[in-house]
Structure 1
Amino acid sequence: MSLRNLRRIFAVAYLALFTFVFIDFSETFSSGFTNGLLYLQFIPSLLKFLKVGGLIATGFIVVLLLTFLFGRAYCSFLCPLGILQDIMARIRAKRPRYKYLKSWNIVRYAILAIVVIITLMGSLFLLYMLDPYSIAGRIFSDFVRPAYYGVNNFFVMILGFFNSYALHHIDFKPIPWQGMAITGALLAVIGFMAWKWGRLYCNTICPVGTFLSLISRYSLFRLKIDENSCISCNRCVRDCKAGCINLKDKSIDFSRCVACYNCMDSCREGSISYQWAFGRKGSDVAEETDPTRRSFVTTFTGMLIGLAALGRADKLFAQRRIRNRGANQGAQVSAAGSKPNRRSAPITPPGSYNHDDYRNTCTACHLCVTACPSHVLQPSFNELGIFSIMQPHMDFRSGFCNYECTRCGEICPTGAIRLLDLETKKRTQIGKVVFHRGNCIVRVDRTECGACSEHCPTKAVQMVPWQGLLIPEVNPEICIGCGACEHACPTEPYKAIYVNGNPVHQVAKMHESIGDRPEESELDDFPF
């Protein structure tokens, strides 16, 4: 079997498993399987190694070794976005025919340098916007998963007419339209580039592809053209999705080669093969640059630096926006739910430790969003700052953090959400409860409620006598910020009880066993 066919089989199998991991709603795959599947994803592995360390985070080293030996094997059959591009390139009436493309070395190296600089400055925005794994994760989470769930629920409805219950309905929260718009725009641009020029994104914009290209320049084994047997038939050029074969020089720019092996299969003379890299001519080409591109690079660089500056400013003003959002929206509301919820900080999941660490490690792949059984993890818009857009946050209108669950920490590939043992997680305080009596329907409508107290797992919310009724009383010290009370609170548009985030996660005090309950007007029935 040829290398090309082996690559195709492995790539299709890998993409299929990758897809199922992101649409799995019943935890069919264990966290160990998921971690193993994503072990070789370059950026998540690198970030996890820097934050957590250990053998589980050494996948990027394996990728570097493969690249040093054989070139960009990661881009060939391990990069989910690269495999998607190959599929999209085939969606055309005729078989794609490529041609040799001049290298955009100044552009791609400038992009890589700026991404590295901005990342070192403390913002992952550009990195996760361009990282192929993260883009692929958002595509499957934001588009493929809802489509799959929708088809499933449609068949559930159809089968219900025949009294068949082979399938069951799947509840899911729609992705915010802003995040879908950004992911959709990236998908459209990358898809068009793949359809028109093959792997141009990988060799021009992708920071991972550019970084690996630097290493592949020194690979021990490279694809080379035998000048003596080559008849310049041009078949290899037409099949080269990277556009890196120059028949004029009978050379291959191996730094841009994505190891698809199409050229080896298409060459009937057998003139292209892996060879020891040193001592023979055939793969090293001089970098071709176009002076007219310099103005583009200058403009593009200025734009990216400007974005970085805005990102730093956005980080400084993120908390101010959170505090002011409620006040700006609540001026015309009266009665229950009229007092705005003023959060001083957003809420990040247990195991993220603090906001800065989380924002500087999460690549917004949305794997935790797809895995969260209570749907409390949702992509953000500006809750964490506009330059942390699409990084997941705790949205207590969508759900609450299950007291017995550690799923997000088990499967997070970057270490942004680190795995906590269950007992530690149960005492990790990601925020503290705040009660606005003026919003509570017990006070405003003079009716019994108690939804918040019923749902609180630590009894940080208890009902106490008040004017013949029972009204909530909170103890922030034993609150863990799970949001069960906020999710259950029926007041709109602002909750009578909500969680204010801790910028740095703390440890909640142990709550005392519940002894004496209020004797006045015990809650016999749950009102909802």
Structure 2
Amino acid sequence: MTPGKPRLQALRNAVNQVDFNRFRFWFQLVGFVLFVYGGYLAVDLGTRLPFFSCGYNQEGRAGVCFLLPLQHQLGRPWPMLFSAASIAILTGFVIFALWFIVLNKGWCGFVCPLGTIQDWITALRRRLGIRYSSYSRGQFEQLTRIKYILLLLMILIPLGVGGGIFSHDMSPPFCLICPARMILPMFTGDFSQFSIDFSSKTALAMTALGMAVTALFLVGSFVKKRFFCFLCPMSALHYLISKPALLKLKKNGDKCTRCGDCYTVCDMGIRAIADDIETKDIMTDDCTLCLKCVASCPEPGALKATFAGISIFESTETGFIKRCQKGIGLEQPKH
């Protein structure tokens, strides 16, 4: 055995037995501070980020969500849109894809400020001792479709604005109703987005709808874990281009006992994570790659996260026992 192998194995064991909830909490907190307040330190990571670093948080943002410039570009007059200017749209999409390909939907589970806020709301509800609601199978299937409908509308409405079919007051349509527009600037002391624009009927309708969606976000997140993630068009766009991403969630069905622990901890209520023993790449369109399923699995190697094909975090019995604080005083299995 080469000298480096014991060290590598020791590192893998340490990672697989990490206090995952604490690790994820601090990762999310650092991401939140960076992307909500990084602008004050002159951090600028561009305008093609694959998560909600909201452009309306003008002073604090460390970058801008890709959906905002995409909608503005799609809203150009059609002759301009289908000219050389379309290269800017393609270039922007390529930059967005390069960002996305690194963490896949892990951007949702570990970095997105709006996702982090939902997790904080869940933690508050838990501290108050209020039980959250679960989804029926029918509700789950209906919710999963909404984000694709919103993604389609987010593309068609700006195109209609550029073609003169819709009013310019409807653009950018998703950003006008996205709760990030009001909630994230609030953390930097900017409450100006909590207002209704009476300049036109269209502006009135869009900003009022934005207020309603923000209220739905807050109430929904308190009632159901990661409620807004089911509705998120960014999540839909993620899944459509997820195949070449480097971070993957893998399952070995031969090692799965279908105990259901992974489904129990899944914030999105994805039953396939427990029931599907055939699919190797087990990430679904609603998955946020939070990896809580891997951390909660007691079967060695049944679930794992890989990066560029290399296992970086996988389920182990010792990790499960340590994280769940079970089996204290028992002899640890030898590997």
- What's the TM-score once normalised by structure 2's chain length? 0.57
- Alignment of structure 1 residues 347-362 onto 2, 5 Å: none
Q: CA deviation at 1:186?
A: 2.7
2:66 to 33, 42, 45: 42
Equivalent residue for 1:73?
106
Distance in 1 (CA, whole Å) between partners of 2:130 and 2:193 is 35
- Alignment of structure 1 residues 268-417 onto 2, 5 Å: 268-270=298-300, 271-275=302-306
Distance in 2 (CA, whole Å) between partners of 1:68 and 1:146 is 32
Aligned length: 240
1:12 to 19, 25, 29: 29
Equivalent residue for 1:256?
286
Distance in 1 (CA, whole Å) between partners of 2:270 and 2:252 is 16
Equivalent residue for 1:129?
176
Q: Is the 8 A contact 1:66 1:72 kept in 2?
A: no
Q: Is the 8 A contact 1:198 1:241 kept in 2?
A: yes
Q: Which amino acid aligns with 2:62?
A: L
Equivalent residue for 2:43?
33
Query: Any gaps of 5 or more consecutive residues in structure 1?
Result: 23-28, 148-173, 279-528
Using a 3 Å threshold, how does the CA distance of structure 1 residues 9 and 98 change in structure 2: closer, same or farther? Answer: farther
Equivalent residue for 2:202?
none
Aligned-pair identity (%)? 23
Distance in 1 (CA, whole Å) between partners of 2:275 and 2:291 is 20
Q: CA deviation at 1:71?
A: 2.4
1:88 to 121, 130, 133: 121
Q: Which amino acid aligns with 1:186?
A: V
Distance in 1 (CA, whole Å) between partners of 2:115 and 2:269 is 15
Q: CA deviation at 1:268?
A: 2.0
Q: Is the 8 A contact 2:28 2:111 kept in 1?
A: yes
Moved more, 13-22 or 115-124: 13-22
Distance in 1 (CA, whole Å) between partners of 2:193 and 2:100 is 36
More helix by share: 2
Equivalent residue for 1:178?
196
Equivalent residue for 1:242?
268
Q: CA deviation at 1:117?
A: 0.5
Equivalent residue for 1:110?
149
Using a 3 Å threshold, how does the CA distance of structure 1 residues 176 and 10 change in structure 2: closer, same or farther? Answer: closer
Using a 3 Å threshold, how does the CA distance of structure 1 residues 49 and 61 change in structure 2: closer, same or farther? Answer: farther
Q: Which has the larger radius of gyration?
A: 1
Q: Is the 8 A contact 2:194 2:211 kept in 1?
A: no
Q: CA deviation at 1:75?
A: 1.4
SS in 2 for 1:178: coil
1:215 to 216, 241, 249: 241
Q: CA deviation at 1:125?
A: 4.1
Q: Deviations over 1:17-71 (max 9, x none)?
A: 444468xxxxxx25x325565336322464688899999x978645423544552
Equivalent residue for 1:233?
259
Q: Which amino acid aligns with 1:74?
A: W
2:176 aligned with 1:145 = no
- Please tell me the root mean square deviation across aligned C-alpha atoms, in Å: 4.1
Q: Which amino acid aligns with 1:232?
A: R
- What's the TM-score once normalised by structure 1's chain length? 0.38
Q: Is the 8 A contact 1:76 1:258 kept in 2?
A: yes
Q: Is the 8 A contact 1:236 1:267 kept in 2?
A: yes
SS in 1 for 2:124: coil
Distance in 1 (CA, whole Å) between partners of 2:37 and 2:102 is 31
Query: Any gaps of 5 or more consecutive residues in structure 2?
Result: 1-14, 47-60, 77-84, 162-169, 198-206, 310-335
Q: CA deviation at 1:212?
A: 1.0
Distance in 1 (CA, whole Å) between partners of 2:250 and 2:276 is 12
Moved more, 67-76 or 7-16: 67-76
